[in-house]
Amino acid sequence: MASLSQTGHSPRYSRAARVLHWLTVLLVFTTIPAGLIMVQEGLPRAQQDALFLFHKNIGPIILLLVALRLALRLISPPPPLPATVPALQALAAKGVHWLLYIVLVAMVISGIVRVQAGGFPMEVWDPLLGGMVGKNEALAKSASGFHELAKTVLILLIAVHIGAAALHGLVKRDGVFNRMWPPA
Protein backbone atom coordinates (compact mmCIF):
# COMPACT_ATOMS: atom_id res chain seq x y z
CA MET A 1 0.00 0.00 0.00
CA ALA A 2 1.45 3.41 -0.96
CA SER A 3 2.08 5.97 1.72
CA LEU A 4 0.72 9.49 1.78
CA SER A 5 4.17 10.95 1.18
CA GLN A 6 4.73 8.78 -1.92
CA THR A 7 1.47 9.59 -3.70
CA GLY A 8 0.24 12.86 -2.22
CA HIS A 9 -2.99 11.05 -1.31
CA SER A 10 -4.13 9.12 1.71
CA PRO A 11 -4.47 5.38 1.05
CA ARG A 12 -8.02 4.33 0.18
CA TYR A 13 -10.39 1.72 1.50
CA SER A 14 -10.69 -1.33 -0.73
CA ARG A 15 -13.21 -1.22 -3.56
CA ALA A 16 -15.34 -3.79 -1.72
CA ALA A 17 -15.35 -1.66 1.44
CA ARG A 18 -16.36 1.43 -0.54
CA VAL A 19 -19.16 -0.40 -2.37
CA LEU A 20 -20.51 -1.88 0.88
CA HIS A 21 -20.31 1.56 2.55
CA TRP A 22 -22.28 3.30 -0.19
CA LEU A 23 -24.86 0.50 -0.43
CA THR A 24 -25.37 0.81 3.33
CA VAL A 25 -25.70 4.59 2.99
CA LEU A 26 -28.28 4.19 0.22
CA LEU A 27 -30.41 1.79 2.24
CA VAL A 28 -30.13 3.71 5.52
CA PHE A 29 -30.92 7.01 3.79
CA THR A 30 -34.07 5.53 2.26
CA THR A 31 -35.11 3.53 5.33
CA ILE A 32 -34.93 6.42 7.82
CA PRO A 33 -37.32 8.69 5.88
CA ALA A 34 -39.65 5.73 5.24
CA GLY A 35 -39.68 5.02 8.98
CA LEU A 36 -40.35 8.64 9.85
CA ILE A 37 -43.15 9.03 7.29
CA MET A 38 -44.90 5.68 7.85
CA VAL A 39 -45.97 6.61 11.39
CA GLN A 40 -47.45 10.01 10.50
CA GLU A 41 -51.10 10.61 11.37
CA GLY A 42 -53.48 10.85 8.42
CA LEU A 43 -51.28 8.98 5.97
CA PRO A 44 -53.40 6.99 3.49
CA ARG A 45 -53.42 3.32 4.52
CA ALA A 46 -52.06 2.06 1.18
CA GLN A 47 -49.10 4.44 1.40
CA GLN A 48 -48.50 3.53 5.05
CA ASP A 49 -48.60 -0.20 4.25
CA ALA A 50 -46.11 0.23 1.39
CA LEU A 51 -43.72 2.18 3.63
CA PHE A 52 -43.98 -0.41 6.43
CA LEU A 53 -43.37 -3.21 3.91
CA PHE A 54 -40.28 -1.43 2.58
CA HIS A 55 -38.92 -0.37 5.99
CA LYS A 56 -39.19 -3.69 7.78
CA ASN A 57 -37.88 -5.76 4.89
CA ILE A 58 -34.84 -3.56 4.18
CA GLY A 59 -33.55 -3.87 7.76
CA PRO A 60 -32.19 -7.42 7.37
CA ILE A 61 -30.38 -6.36 4.19
CA ILE A 62 -28.70 -3.58 6.17
CA LEU A 63 -27.77 -6.14 8.84
CA LEU A 64 -26.22 -8.36 6.16
CA LEU A 65 -24.26 -5.42 4.72
CA VAL A 66 -22.97 -4.49 8.19
CA ALA A 67 -21.93 -8.11 8.80
CA LEU A 68 -20.08 -8.15 5.47
CA ARG A 69 -18.42 -4.83 6.30
CA LEU A 70 -17.27 -6.14 9.68
CA ALA A 71 -15.95 -9.36 8.12
CA LEU A 72 -14.13 -7.32 5.49
CA ARG A 73 -12.53 -5.17 8.21
CA LEU A 74 -11.02 -8.36 9.66
CA ILE A 75 -9.63 -9.41 6.28
CA SER A 76 -8.71 -5.94 5.02
CA PRO A 77 -8.26 -3.41 7.84
CA PRO A 78 -9.05 0.25 7.11
CA PRO A 79 -6.19 2.30 5.71
CA PRO A 80 -4.34 4.40 8.26
CA LEU A 81 -5.34 8.00 8.75
CA PRO A 82 -2.80 10.62 7.67
CA ALA A 83 -0.21 11.42 10.35
CA THR A 84 -1.61 14.97 10.43
CA VAL A 85 -4.84 13.76 12.07
CA PRO A 86 -4.55 14.39 15.83
CA ALA A 87 -4.65 11.26 18.02
CA LEU A 88 -7.82 12.36 19.81
CA GLN A 89 -9.57 12.95 16.48
CA ALA A 90 -8.44 9.53 15.22
CA LEU A 91 -9.82 7.94 18.40
CA ALA A 92 -13.11 9.82 17.96
CA ALA A 93 -13.34 8.63 14.34
CA LYS A 94 -12.78 5.02 15.39
CA GLY A 95 -15.37 5.38 18.15
CA VAL A 96 -18.00 6.86 15.84
CA HIS A 97 -17.42 4.14 13.25
CA TRP A 98 -17.86 1.35 15.82
CA LEU A 99 -20.89 3.06 17.33
CA LEU A 100 -22.44 3.29 13.86
CA TYR A 101 -21.98 -0.45 13.40
CA ILE A 102 -23.38 -1.23 16.86
CA VAL A 103 -26.40 1.06 16.48
CA LEU A 104 -27.20 -0.22 12.98
CA VAL A 105 -27.19 -3.80 14.29
CA ALA A 106 -29.29 -2.77 17.31
CA MET A 107 -31.76 -0.95 15.05
CA VAL A 108 -32.31 -3.96 12.83
CA ILE A 109 -32.58 -6.46 15.67
CA SER A 110 -34.98 -4.26 17.65
CA GLY A 111 -37.03 -3.73 14.49
CA ILE A 112 -37.26 -7.46 13.83
CA VAL A 113 -38.22 -8.10 17.46
CA ARG A 114 -40.82 -5.32 17.29
CA VAL A 115 -42.41 -6.73 14.15
CA GLN A 116 -42.41 -10.37 15.23
CA ALA A 117 -43.44 -9.73 18.85
CA GLY A 118 -46.22 -7.51 17.51
CA GLY A 119 -47.52 -10.44 15.49
CA PHE A 120 -46.76 -8.85 12.11
CA PRO A 121 -45.17 -10.58 9.13
CA MET A 122 -41.82 -9.79 7.57
CA GLU A 123 -43.03 -10.79 4.15
CA VAL A 124 -39.66 -11.24 2.45
CA TRP A 125 -37.82 -12.64 5.46
CA ASP A 126 -40.38 -14.88 7.20
CA PRO A 127 -39.05 -18.06 5.53
CA LEU A 128 -35.64 -17.32 7.08
CA LEU A 129 -36.47 -15.31 10.23
CA GLY A 130 -40.07 -16.29 10.94
CA GLY A 131 -40.82 -17.60 14.40
CA MET A 132 -37.67 -16.29 16.09
CA VAL A 133 -39.84 -14.24 18.45
CA GLY A 134 -43.38 -15.17 19.45
CA LYS A 135 -46.21 -12.68 19.81
CA ASN A 136 -45.63 -10.67 23.00
CA GLU A 137 -47.10 -7.16 23.26
CA ALA A 138 -44.86 -6.13 26.19
CA LEU A 139 -41.75 -7.18 24.28
CA ALA A 140 -43.05 -5.45 21.14
CA LYS A 141 -43.55 -2.23 23.10
CA SER A 142 -40.06 -2.44 24.64
CA ALA A 143 -38.46 -3.17 21.27
CA SER A 144 -40.37 -0.26 19.74
CA GLY A 145 -39.13 2.10 22.46
CA PHE A 146 -35.55 0.90 22.00
CA HIS A 147 -35.87 1.25 18.21
CA GLU A 148 -37.07 4.83 18.68
CA LEU A 149 -34.14 5.69 20.98
CA ALA A 150 -31.64 4.01 18.68
CA LYS A 151 -33.08 5.98 15.73
CA THR A 152 -32.19 9.24 17.48
CA VAL A 153 -28.69 8.01 18.32
CA LEU A 154 -28.20 6.79 14.74
CA ILE A 155 -29.26 10.12 13.25
CA LEU A 156 -26.86 11.96 15.59
CA LEU A 157 -23.99 9.60 14.72
CA ILE A 158 -24.70 10.03 11.01
CA ALA A 159 -24.66 13.81 11.44
CA VAL A 160 -21.29 13.63 13.23
CA HIS A 161 -19.92 11.28 10.55
CA ILE A 162 -21.09 13.50 7.68
CA GLY A 163 -19.84 16.60 9.49
CA ALA A 164 -16.39 15.06 9.93
CA ALA A 165 -16.34 13.91 6.29
CA ALA A 166 -17.27 17.43 5.16
CA LEU A 167 -14.59 18.94 7.40
CA HIS A 168 -11.93 16.69 5.91
CA GLY A 169 -13.20 16.95 2.34
CA LEU A 170 -14.03 20.64 2.12
CA VAL A 171 -11.94 22.39 4.77
CA LYS A 172 -8.86 20.35 5.66
CA ARG A 173 -8.52 18.62 2.28
CA ASP A 174 -6.18 16.15 3.94
CA GLY A 175 -7.12 13.04 1.96
CA VAL A 176 -9.34 11.50 4.65
CA PHE A 177 -12.53 12.14 2.67
CA ASN A 178 -11.10 10.57 -0.49
CA ARG A 179 -10.38 7.27 1.30
CA MET A 180 -14.07 6.34 0.95
CA TRP A 181 -15.27 8.52 -1.95
CA PRO A 182 -16.28 7.54 -4.63
CA PRO A 183 -16.70 3.80 -5.03
CA ALA A 184 -14.74 3.66 -8.29
Query: CA–CA distance from 96 to each of 18, 90, 100, 102, 164 (Å)?
Result: 17, 10, 6, 10, 10
Q: Is the dihedral of CA 169, 33, 23, 73 positive or negative?
A: positive
* pLDDT at 55 (0 to 100): 97
**DSSP letter for each residue of 36-98:** HHHT-TT--HHHHHHHHHHHHHHHHHHHHHHHHHHHHHHHSPPPPPPTTS-HHHHHHHHHHHH
Whether the predicted pLDDT of 175 surpasses 60: yes
Domains along the sequence of the chain with CATH: 4-179 (1.20.950.20)
* pLDDT at 184 (0 to 100): 62
Residue 143 contacts residue 119 (beta carbons within 8 Å): no
* pLDDT at 167 (0 to 100): 96
Query: CA–CA distance from 55 to each of 37, 49, 77, 110 (Å)?
Result: 10, 10, 31, 13
* pLDDT at 5 (0 to 100): 37
* pLDDT at 129 (0 to 100): 83
* SS3 state of residue 112: helix
Question: Residues 25-47: pLDDT tens digits?
Answer: 999 999 999 999 999 999 999 99
* pLDDT at 6 (0 to 100): 39
Whether the predicted pLDDT of 83 surpasses 60: yes
Question: Residues 99-155: pLDDT tens digits?
Answer: 999 999 999 999 999 999 999 999 999 898 878 899 999 999 999 999 999 999 999
* pLDDT at 7 (0 to 100): 44
pLDDT band of residue 53 (cuts 50, 70, 90) is very high
